[in-house]
Structure 1
Amino acid sequence: MKPGSIQQRLFSRATVIFLFIVIGVLLSASFYTYVQDRKLQSVSLSALKMASWNLARMSNEAGAFDREVALMAKGVGDPEEFMLRFDVLWSRYDYLLNSAESMPTRQHQDNLRRIKNLFSDLKGLEPQIKGLLKSAKPDWSELATTWEQQRKDIQLLLADNFVGEEASQLMTGMEASRDRLANLRVLTLGALVVVFMYLAFALTHIRRQSRTDPLTGLPNSNYLQTINSVDPRKNVIVCQIRDLGLVIAEYGNETANEVVQAFARKLAKGLGGGDELIQISQGEFLLLVKNHKNESSESLAARFIEATTFEWRIFETVIPIQGVFGVTVAGKDQSPAWGVRYQEAYRALAMAQMEREQLYISNENLEKRLRDERIILNGLVRFLSGEPSSLSLSVVYQPIVNAGNKNFIIGAEVLLRCRDRVLGFVPPNVVVDLSERHGLGADLGKWLFRQVAKETSQLYRDLGFRGSLSINLNPAMLSDSLVSDVQGLLVNEGIPASALCMEITEDNAALDFERINELINELHTLGVTFALDDFGTGHSSLEYVRELKVDRLKVDRCFVNGVEHSEDKLRFLGSIVAMAEQVYMKTVIEGVENQAQWDLIEKLGDVLIQGYFAHKPMPFNEFMAVLMDSASRYPTTRQLSVSAV
């Protein structure tokens, strides 16, 4: 039976109603028993016992008085003993009528009336008794006759109270109460057994369900929390379904769930005895697996990658599905603790996602890279906040020259340089990537604008320089604030808008052509130009050329490398230049490293060149010195284009 089916039955409306009925019956039975037992409290056994005892004492005292009456009638009685017994009987009546202890006796049936009548009759004998005691020859027969009737009434009262109907009813009620209580106990015990079994089963099921994913039936993150150790001979593998969020966005959660189930089944097929598969979240899994015989951890991971790379079809659409894996390989008994290995696997997964790879295996290099990135990030945060930092950022300038004359410097590309006191040189792309991942891209871009304006504004103010400055835009800078940043941080600081060329790459544009073109149009209005950087390295370069309204095409160095040894490469490079001319773009060719390459590219037409053969990147003072060299030429009136790094 499916877990969902069990849960539906366990918490169904019928089951809940049944439990409420059972509890309701128990409450009703308890209430009924309470009401019946309250009735018995009006005449309790103790009260009946007290009432019977009081009347029995009265009967005994009446009997003692009766004996004295008989003795007096025979002429042998003692007057003092006679009066003593009369007074005792009198006191008994008074006790029965007035004492709190005799309340049960008075309340029983019509005892109060009968006792009052008997007491009144006794009082009626007092004048007659006094007369007889004063008489020389008393006749006690009349008194004896009158007393005899009273004596019978006392005996009748005693009989009615001692073995009467009320006592019988009380005893019968007590027996019925005991039966009710016994039946209620059985009913309660049975109901408690049913409820306990239900609760035990429900709690067991809920506990199992809380540790099991309802979609795949696999152990989930709650179960993961119970794992204290893992066999070091097992690989720790964390994997995710790549771009599952896009599947949800495009086709809905139901389709995504079907993909997750299929993915989980494919993972499960690769498990061996003792291996474990745990579902951490909707599209995220943890595998604890041993290597098969003569199988390396890399081969094991590759096997899971192959198994989970498939196509999912929905109607006429085919969705490519693949996993991303981070692995901590099996080790010896001295391998790190389970929590450490799990964390290392997650780090490897994060690295695979950042690198857009399917697999990353945790190793010392990864640990070093992550450690270095933490140092760099900490330094970057402090640097951009204006605090003392181990990381220092600076800019250098690589001149861009005309292919017809390498001494004619038409501008320069601004390049970022980074250095850490501990790590030494830090690749600029690492700093840019970290700033993007941690929300510092816009701050880095503003710092770059300020630094460029601080260093180069004097060229335009004092030297009349009109060469271009190329500034590479990172993704975070392509926002609505770009226009105001360019205006406020560059143009207003003395750099002509016509001297600025903003370089964007295919990754930065991210296929949002409409949004990027809006920014380009606004900056075009100011006079700023744009260049498409690293052309040819992406998958949709021609589409970007067609869709983006850029002014320059920067050809990546990969098309220049070896061009002097291959006519095919030269023809291909020439076709790129010709295409750019057809769409009215100026071509900048990067990576020209020697005279042979220069000579070939010079023949391609009116192109611009950027490379070590002409000039290497240099600090601003050296760049100014190059401009001031008598052999150098640079524009002073024509519009300049700027590319970014």
Structure 2
Amino acid sequence: MGRLRIRIFLFVFALSVALLVVSQQLAWRQADEQAAQLQVQQLQHRGRWLVETLRFRIENQVGPQLWLPWLAEHGVNHDTLHHLLRSGAFSRIEQLTPEPLAVGDSEAPDLAALEPHVTTGQWFAIWQAQQLWLVQDHLLTAGSEPRRLRFLRRIDLGVESAAGEPLSALWIRQDQQWRPLWSQHEDLSADSIRRQLQQIGGAESLSEPVLTGSARFAFTPFQLLHHELVWVQQSWISSDAMAASLREWQMLALGLLAFLLSVGGALWLDRSISRPMAALARYMRRVGAGEERVAPPSLPVRGELAAVAREFAFMLSTLAKREESIRHLAFHDSLTGLANRHRFAALLAERLGDAQISRLCVVVIDLARFREINDTLGHGAGDNILKQVAARLLGVAALRQQVARLSADEFGVLIINVHPAELMQGLSQIAAIFDVPFQVDKVSLEVRASLGAAVYPEHGDSPGMLLQRSEIALFQAKQQKQRIVVYSPEQDGHTLRRLTLMAELRAAIDRDELSLYVQPKLDIAGWRIVGVECLVRWHHPQYGMVPPDEFIPLAEQTGAIRQLTNWMLRKGLDWAKRWRDDGLQLKVAINVSTVDLLDPLLAKRVSGWIRERGLPADALLLEVTESAVMQDAEGALPMLRELRDFGVDLAVDDFGTGYSSMLQLKRLPVGELKIDKSFVMGVLRSADDAVIVRSTIDLAHNLDLVVVAEGVEDDTTLEWLKRFGCDLAQGYLLSKPMPADLLSLWLDQAPYLCAGREHVGLGHGPVEL
């Protein structure tokens, strides 16, 4: 802005000077023209009056006489007059204004000052170029008539002295040549006068002197017969110098005025343009730097800058609203309107920095099997459930404004200043909101949830640590199938174990640290073992035997589930080949996940492994969970059909725990349906479980499906299943999962027939392995 102000000042200064110079020149020219015109008019008037006056005086004189004393006083001596008389026979020579007219130093000569001189016989020749006529008597010769007076013209000629002294000279022109008769000063030489006369074209021509402030000389020629008498008289024109000096002062005054105008204009421009622009620039820089709530600068209400400021303010207002909307979207969940994970962490940090808060509890809530709701009923139903959960959490008075949605099916809650004795009560109050079914399109849905909690300051003093430990507690709740778990330091070991297992699972598969376990399936009607379900166990070098419920979810999270499934398929088919070679016609059942079903090469690999071992296709049964199929039914169906067309048998595992519809179940190319053990184990204690199991058996038979009951642990349950027509049974009543290499030994001791062998084992009940 400093450079802009300098440029504005220089521009205004130059413009002011130019305008003042032009206007002054025009004013001077107009004044000169008016003065010249006025002087011409005055000189013409004075000239006519003067001629008449001189004519009257001369015509009324008695006789010719020579005013010798008067002339002598002005430098005309007797020799000069005698010479003049001889050369021209003058009867009278009259000099008009032989001395300079006194002119003051402070004012120019005025024509009115000439009047007293004219009336007394004296006249001063004004240096303006005008035709002014003077008169001179002629000599009267004997016997001749008096001659008439003759009017002669006057000219002005400038001759300048080197010393600047008054100079006077008397010249005569004879035979077309000018000769000096007398000169007061040697500088007034003949050559100098001659050059001046030649420049004006002779004595009878006119010339307007240049007003330079220096001396001027008046030449008054008198044409007498063949001679001309010229009186040269120097007169000081101090008025010229005064005029030049006046103009110099005027130029100085103009310069000062231009400077003052420039300063004033620059100040005005600075106040009306530069300062508002600087203020607007500072405002823009502060806004650009990210400052919030910056007050706009005070600008004039009119003008372009004000319009720019208004438009900029409007733009900022629009951007502020948009930024506020973006900020809200960045820190809030668009579906529920709750704070998101980032905002929840920031809110937690604010509460931790509040001196009035001594304790708080961070709660993380996970909705069980929420993905199945989305896949079965659609995302609209899932969104409806999420909104209802958010509304119920906000409805808890102690949690208002402290609720967030952390992920798709995970919520976060802060409980402020909770007393240790009231912690479980507050957590139970949160868990209680899931006791009431959720209504979706007139359908009641029971949504279960797990809660993990961490308390400040016992479990951490930073947002990251509290969130991490509350999620550790949540993981424990889900693993232990508990509703509420509060963090304890012992759980960190489980977290470290979990991270270690996740990192080492792939290597464990490659190092063959996994083992294949099997659990027999019993044909209830024929009391025959017809197949086995293949299970995997991990013998970790540090943690020992790791159960599948612990590492299979880790395999799904890390993407190692395909590698694990391929290992089980190869191992299971190897044992199927070995058993068949031993005469045991057992069908091996292996679980596959949704990720496996979306693998386009799964059927090709399975068919290739079966052919390599020379097995029939129906020697393999692939079990898919109800939730896995419903998660992406359209994507899984083509692969299931391809496997069925090859001859592989298919089964739906854990039926009853998902949200599949009868229409979707009918579309699946499966031949077997397995009832989840959670229902089977309760048929003798719960009428509801009994109804569900009976209905499932009837439904499966109506769809020509084989029914398998999991979780059979006693003879009474087995008899109940047999009475209601269940086809196959699996559970601890028969055997716990055993290593695959012990199956033959178990069959030798078990009281069951086996497909491919016509005799039972030696035992009379369950075999302890």
- Per the alignment, residue 703 of structure 2 pairs with 583
Cα distance in 2 between the residues matched to 1:574 and 1:333? 51
Q: Identify if the C-alpha distance between structure 1 residues 467 and 349 changes in structure 2 by more than 3 Å, giving closer, same or farther.
A: closer
Q: Deviations over 1:196-230 (max 9, x none)?
A: 67876893236995996377698994795594744
In the TM superposition, what are the counterparts of 1:241-252 in structure 2 within 5 Å? Answer: none
Partner in structure 2 of residue 36 of structure 1: 12
Aligned to 1:469: 588
CA distance 1:220–1:431, shift in 2 (3 Å): closer
Partner residue of 2:416 out of 267, 287, 290: 290
Partner amino acid for 1:36?
A: V
Measured in 2, the distance between the counterparts of 1:156 and 1:490 equals: 129
| Pairing 1:155–2:241 present | yes
Which of 455, 469, 475 aligns to 1:330? It is 455
Q: Write the letter of the residue equivalent to 1:395.
A: L
Task: Return the alpha-carbon distance in structure 2 between the equivalents of residues 569 and 280 of structure 1.
Answer: 35
State which of 270, 274, 277 in structure 2 corresponds to 1:185: 270
Q: TM-score, length-normalised on structure 2?
A: 0.53
**What secondary structure sits across from 2:328 in the alignment?**
coil
Q: Write the letter of the residue equivalent to 2:359.
A: R
Superimposed CA distance per residue, residues 400-435 of structure 1 (whole angstroms, 9 cap, x where no aligned partner): 3333554x4322221111222222222212222121
Q: State the shift of 1:179 in Å.
A: 1.0
**Cα separation, partners in 2 of 1:518 and 1:356, compared to 1, 3 Å:** farther
Which residue of structure 1 lines up, in the alignment, with residue 570 of structure 2? 450
Residue aligned with 1:298, SS: helix
- Out of 498, 504, 507, the position equivalent to 1:379 is 504
Q: CA deviation at 1:159?
A: 0.9
Aligned to 1:91: none
Which residue identity lines up with residue 290 of structure 1 in the other structure? I
Quick check: 1:266–1:307 contact (8 Å CA) kept in 2? no
Q: Which residue of 2 aligns with 1:174?
A: 259
Alignment of 1:270 with 2:398, yes or no, is: yes
Separation in 1 of the partners of 2:408 and 2:669?
41
Which whole-Å CA distance do the structure 2 matches of 1:195 and 1:308 have between them?
Answer: 57
Once the two structures are TM-superposed, the CA of residue 174 in structure 1 deviates from its matched residue by 0.9
Aligned-pair CA distance for 1:497: 0.5
When residues 362 and 533 of structure 1 are mapped into structure 2, their CA distance, relative to the original with a 3 A threshold, is same
User: Which residue in 2 is equivalent to 1:13?
Assistant: none
Q: How far did 1:608 drift?
A: 3.2
Deviation at 1:459, TM superposition (A): 3.5
**Structure 1 residue 203 corresponds to structure 2 residue 291:** yes
Aligned residue identity for 1:235: C
Aligned with 1:497 (options 611, 617, 620): 617
Secondary structure of the equivalent of 1:504? strand
Contact 1:236 1:286 (C-alpha < 8 Å) held by counterparts: yes
1:632: Cα distance to partner? 7.6
1:470 is paired with a residue whose SS is strand
Preserved contact between residue 305 and residue 322 of structure 1 (Cα < 8 Å): no
Does structure 2 retain, via aligned residues, the 8 Å contact 1:235–1:290? yes
Q: CA deviation at 1:549?
A: 3.3
Q: Residue 547 of structure 2 is aligned with which of 427, 435, 440?
A: 427
**What amino acid is aligned across from residue 234 of structure 1 in structure 2?**
L
Amino acid at match of 2:517: V
Classify 1:199/1:345 alpha carbon distance in 2 versus 1 (closer, same or farther; 3 Å).
farther
Which amino acid letter does the alignment assign opposite residue 399 of structure 1? P
Shift of 1:32: 6.0
What TM-score does the superposition give when structure 1 sets the normalisation length? 0.62
Contact 1:239 1:323 (8 Å CA) reproduced: no
What is the match of residue 68 of structure 1? none
Quote the Cα distance in structure 1 between the aligned partners of 2:388 and 2:419. 29
Please tell me whether the aligned partners of residues 506 and 544 of structure 1 are also in contact (alpha carbons under 8 angstroms). Answer: no
2:351 equivalent to 1:236: no
* Distance in 2 of aligned mates of 1:171 and 1:431: 95
Query: In percent, how many aligned pairs have the same letter?
Result: 19
Q: Call closer, same or farther: CA 1:168–1:218 in 2, change over 3 Å.
A: farther
Is the alpha carbon distance of 1:434 and 1:337 closer, same or farther for their aligned partners in structure 2, counting shifts above 3 Å? same
- Structure number, greater radius of gyration: 2
1:402–1:410: 8 Å Cα contact kept in structure 2? yes
Cα deviation digits, residues 171-202 of structure 1 (max 9, x gap):
11111111112223333445655776787689
For 1:320 and 1:597, how far apart are their aligned partners in 2?
A: 29
> What is the alpha-carbon distance in structure 2 between the residues aligned to residue 616 and residue 265 of structure 1?
43
SS of match in other structure, 2:595: helix
Whole-angstrom CA distance in 2 between matches of 1:233 and 1:568: 44
Moved more, 439-448 or 617-626: 617-626
Q: Tell me the equivalent position of 1:484.
A: 604
Task: Give the number of aligned pairs.
Answer: 524
For residues 573-602 of structure 1, what are the alpha-carbon distances to aligned partners after superposition, in whole Å with 9 as ceiling and x for unaligned?
Answer: 666555544433333333444555556655
1:624–1:150 Cα change, 3 Å = farther
Q: Using the alignment, how far apart are the partners of 1:196 and 1:190 within structure 2?
A: 10
| Aligned with 1:341 (options 442, 466, 482) | 466
Listed as ranges, the matches of 1:528-543 within 5 Å are 528-538=648-658, 540=660
CA distance in 2, matches of 1:445, 1:326: 32
Contact 2:5 2:270 in 1 (8 A): no
**Alignment CA distance shift 1:210-1:520 (3 Å):** closer
- 1:299 aligned to 2:425? yes
| Equivalent in the alignment of 1:618 | 738
Per the TM alignment, residue 621 of structure 1 is displaced from its structure 2 partner at its CA by 2.4
Instruction: Encode CA deviations 1:91-141: one digit per residue, 9 max, x unaligned.
Output: xxxxxxxxxxxxxxxxxxxxxxxxxxxxx9769899xx9xxxxxxx99427
Q: Which amino acid aligns with 1:35?
A: F
How far, CA to CA, are the matches of 1:488 and 1:405 in structure 2? Answer: 33
CA-CA distance at 1:449 after TM superposition: 1.1
Do 2:341 and 2:404's aligned partners in 1 also have CA atoms closer than 8 Å?
yes
Amino acid corresponding to residue 650 of structure 2 in structure 1: F
SS in 2 for 1:178: helix
> Could you say if the C-alpha distance between residues 159 and 505 of structure 1 is closer, same or farther in structure 2, counting changes exceeding 3 Å?
same
CA contact (8 A) 1:503 1:531 kept: yes
Q: Is the 8 A contact 2:452 2:477 kept in 1?
A: no
Residue 395 of structure 1: aligned partner: 516
The CA distance in 2 between the partners of 1:444 and 1:308, in whole Å, is 36
**CA spacing shift, 1:571–1:374, aligned 2, 3 Å:** closer
SS at 2:590 equivalent: strand
Q: Hey, what's the Cα distance between the residues in 1 that align with 2:742 and 2:520?
A: 11
Distance in 1, matches of 2:8 and 2:574, equals 94
Contact 2:459-2:466 within 8 A present in 1 as well: no
- Higher mean Cα deviation, 602-611 or 579-588? 602-611
Distance 2:435 2:159 in 1: 115
Gap change, CA 1:336 and 1:532, over 3 Å in 2: same
Secondary structure in structure 2 of the residue aligned to 1:609: strand
Residue in 1 that maps onto 2:328: 213
Q: Judge conservation of contact 1:33–1:180 (CA < 8 Å) in 2.
A: yes
SS of 1:451's partner is: helix
Is the deviation greater in 426-435 or in 259-268? 259-268
TM-fit CA distance, 1:339? 3.2
**TM-aligned CA distance change 1:148 to 1:378, over 3 Å:** farther
1 CA distance for matches of 2:617 and 2:262?
A: 103
1:264 & 1:605 partners in 2: Cα distance? Answer: 44
